[in-house]
């Protein structure tokens, strides 16, 4: 392996380089827009340029319709996946599922903005993003089935394991980006977390490290307004989460997290800038967790129905559907084919998660180290012997009980 010997490049230089293209001050570049970037209105009409919340240097080109149609197909599949997984929890096939119902636009955009070779570091609520990135849906859900803490090979799709400890994975993304930069590769890392997670210490350390080393990381915060039961007002007194970026010397942007058009536009530009050497960026998507934290949570204890209904009106699928129907992109036939695609994925999930997985008790010891220690070999033999003995005695025990 060879590490490039070119100079690492000071923070100010690359930031100044990025700013030059927009003809604005560094402060204007780093501070997010007032309000948020929104391109598609809540009723599904394309907003005129002067009503998109943009300001000088914060204008975003609209992705072409065929890209939007492909994204809508992913939204439909994502919604079906969310609802299918929740059903599988109710049927006892999955232990738990933190649904991203309502956040599908964020999920889909976070995968579509990346190229092959880029990395994604997701959280436990990002199953749809991981699937959209190309990991087999059944493998993605294995972590919630109870037979493995992972489910897929992170190297195969360049996706980290969905992280449970909040924001710890951001630093892993920073490290992956750092290694790539030292080798002179143009990898971009999308590091994902939620609003509550921004209170964690590792959020600060990850953003600061990425900025100091000028690494190609896009931090993507899905602000779904609640950390289980605690609303955003109890997490931060900052004007917005995107404002946190400026303190690290990076650009922050705020975007309507239920508007896939705006998300694709903002994330595409962020990824492009990061790839070109701008250093890291922070994107905050304003969205809503439509369902409880998980099936074990009761959201009625901490928020009212009116609030939920107000957000239902901003649903990311509805507004995209209205736009694409009006644009003539989404015909009845296309819509039916998307529904079939979604049903196919749902069926794949049902079939993949319906059986009892075969598990090998020796897997307990196999992967703790690259090679088991003598102590683990001893314990593995002990368990194998115990299982063999209980198999010998099991019929007798059963007979006793009846």
Partner 1 sequence: MTTVAEAAAARAAANAGPEPVTFAKALTTAMADAMRADDGVVVFGEDVATLGGVFRITDGLQKEFGAQRCFDTPLAESGIVGMALGMAMNGLRPVIEMQFDAFAYPAFEQIASHVAKMHNRTRGKVTLPLVIRVPYAGGIGGVEHHCDSSEAYYAHTPGLKVFTPSSVADAYRLLREAIASDDPVVFMEPKKLYWSKEAVSLETLRSEFDAGATPRAEGRAAVVRPGTDATIIAYGPAVPPALAAAEAAALEGRSVEVVDVRTIVPFDDETVCASVRKTGRAVVVAEAQGFASVASEITARVQERCFHSLAAPVRRVTGFDIPFPAPKFEHWYLPGVDRILDTLDELQWED
Question: Closer CB to partner 1, residue 180 or residue 283?
Answer: 180
Tokens of 61: 């080109």
All residues at 6 or more sequence positions from 130 whose CB lies less than 8 Å from its CB, including other chains:
111, 120, 122, 140, 157, 159, 162
Question: In this structure, are residues 345 and 323 in contact, taking their beta carbons and an 8 Å threshold?
Answer: no
| Binding of residue 249 to partner 1 (CB under 8 A) | no
CA distance 138 to 166: 24
Give yes or no for residue 127 binding partner 1 (CB under 8 A).
no
**Considering only residues 30, 111, 130, 180, which one is a binding residue for partner 1 as defined by CB under 8 A?**
180
Residue from 177, 260, 274, 353 binding partner 1 (CB under 8 A): 177
Element (H, E) at 260: helix 260-275
In the list 117, 201, 239, 357, the residue contacting partner 1 (rule: CB under 8 A) is 201
Helix axes 104-112, 260-275, angle to 10 degrees: 30
Applying CB under 8 A, does 363 fall inside the site for partner 1? Answer: yes
Segment contacting partner 1 (CB under 8 A): 94-102, 323-331, 360-368, 391-399? 360-368
- Member of 75, 135, 174, 273 binding partner 1 (CB under 8 A): 174
CA–CA separation, 247 and 234 (whole Å): 20
Contact call for residue 212 and partner 1 (CB under 8 A): yes
Would you say 125 or 321 has its CB closer to partner 1?
Answer: 125
User: Which tokens in the block code for residue 223?
Assistant: 């602000």
Residue 262 in contact with partner 1, rule: CB under 8 A: no
Q: Is 153 in the site for partner 1 (CB under 8 A)?
A: yes
Of 1-9, 38-46, 337-345, 386-394: span binding partner 1 (CB under 8 A): 1-9
Beta strands in 11-170 (DSSP E): 119-121
Q: Which of 34, 56, 90, 148 binds partner 1 (CB under 8 A)?
A: 148
What stretches of 113-238 show up as alpha helix (H) in DSSP?
127-132, 137-141, 154-157, 168-182, 201-212
Indicate which single residue of 27, 61, 155, 397 sits in contact with partner 1 (rule: CB under 8 A): 155
- Near partner 1 by CB under 8 A, which window of 222-230, 298-306, 365-373, 386-394? 365-373
Residues 6+ apart with CB under 8 A from 202: 166, 167, 168, 170, 171
Name the residue among 62, 58, 59, 57 with its Cα closest to residue 45: 62
128 membership: H or E segment, kind and range = helix 127-132
Phi, psi of 84, deg, nearest 5 = -65, -45
Q: Which residues are catalytic, by number?
A: 289, 293, 302
CB of residue 150 vs partner 1: minimum separation in angstroms?
Answer: 5
Q: Minimum distance from CB of 171 to partner 1 (Å)?
A: 3
Residue 374 three-state SS: helix
Q: Is 393 among the residues that bind partner 1 (CB under 8 A)?
A: no
Minimum CB separation of residue 36 from partner 1 in Å reads 30
Q: Which is nearer to partner 1, 309 or 360 (CB)?
A: 360
Kindly state whether residue 382 participates in binding partner 1, applying the rule CB under 8 A.
no
Q: Does the protein bind partner 1 through residue 176 (CB under 8 A)?
A: yes
Strand partners, 226: 231
Nearest to partner 1 of 332, 360 (CB atom): 360
* Binding region for partner 1 (CB under 8 A) out of 67-75, 154-162, 312-320, 326-334: 154-162
The least distance separating partner 1 from the CB of residue 213, rounded to whole angstroms, comes to 8
* Residues 258-268 as b or e (16 or more Cβ within 10 Å = b): bbbbbbbbbbb
**Binding status of residue 295 toward partner 1 by CB under 8 A:** no
Q: Are strands 217-223 and 226-227 parallel, antiparallel or unpaired?
A: unpaired
What's the CA gap between 138 and 143, in Å, rounded? 9
H/E run at residue 65 = helix 65-90
Q: How many residues bind partner 1 (CB under 8 A)?
A: 46
Instruction: Say whether residue 13 binds partner 1 (CB under 8 A).
Output: no
Whole-number CA gyration radius for the chain: 23
* Residue 4 in contact with partner 1, rule: CB under 8 A: yes
Q: Is 175 in the site for partner 1 (CB under 8 A)?
A: yes
Query: Contact positions toward partner 1, by CB under 8 A?
Result: 1-5, 8, 148-150, 153-156, 161, 165, 168, 170-180, 182-183, 201-202, 204-206, 208-209, 212, 363, 366-370, 373-375
């Amino acid at each position: 392996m060879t590490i490039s010997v070119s100079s690492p490049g000071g923070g100010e230089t690359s930031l100044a380089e990025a700013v030059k293209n927009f003809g604005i001050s560094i402060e204007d570049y780093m501070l997010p827009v007032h309000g948020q970037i929104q391109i598609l209105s809540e009723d599904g009409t394309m907003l005129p340029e002067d009503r998109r919340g943009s300001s000088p240097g914060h204008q975003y080109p609209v992705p072409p319709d065929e890209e939007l149609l492909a994204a809508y197909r992913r939204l439909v599949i994502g919604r079906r996946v969310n609802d299918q997984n929740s059903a599988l929890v109710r049927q006892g096939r999955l232990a738990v599922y933190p649904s991203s119902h309502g956040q599908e636009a964020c999920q889909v955009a976070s995968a579509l903005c990346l190229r092959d070779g880029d990395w994604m570091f997701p959280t436990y609520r990002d199953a749809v993003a991981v699937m959209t990135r190309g990991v087999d849906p059944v493998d993605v859900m294995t972590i919630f089935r109870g037979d493995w803490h992972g489910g897929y090979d992170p190297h195969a799709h360049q996706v980290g394991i969905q992280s449970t400890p909040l924001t710890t994975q951001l630093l892993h993304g920073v490290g992956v980006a750092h290694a790539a930069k030292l080798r002179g590769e143009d990898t971009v890392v999308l590091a994902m977390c939620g609003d509550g997670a921004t209170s964690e210490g590792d959020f600060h350390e990850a953003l600061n490290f990425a900025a100091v080393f000028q690494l190609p990381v896009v931090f993507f915060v899905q602000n779904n307004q609640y950390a289980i039961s605690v609303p955003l007002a109890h997490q931060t007194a900052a004007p917005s989460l995107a404002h946190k970026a400026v303190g690290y010397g990076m650009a922050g942007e705020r975007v309507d997290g239920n508007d896939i058009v705006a998300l694709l536009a903002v994330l595409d530009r962020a990824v492009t800038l990061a790839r070109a050497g701008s250093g890291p960026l922070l994107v905050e998507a304003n969205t809503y967790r439509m369902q409880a934290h998980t099936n074990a949570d009761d959201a009625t204890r901490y928020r009212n129905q009116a609030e939920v209904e107000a957000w239902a009106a901003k649903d990311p699928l509805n507004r995209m559907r209205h736009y694409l129907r009006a644009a003539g992109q989404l015909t009845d036939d296309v819509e039916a084919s998307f529904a079939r695609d979604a049903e196919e994925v749902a069926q794949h999930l049902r079939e993949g998660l319906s059986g009892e997985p075969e598990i090998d008790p020796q897997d307990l010891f196999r992967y703790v180290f690259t090679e088991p220690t003598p102590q683990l070999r001893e314990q593995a033999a002990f368990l194998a012997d115990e299982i063999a003995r209980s198999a010998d005695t099991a019929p007798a025990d059963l007979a006793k009980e009846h």
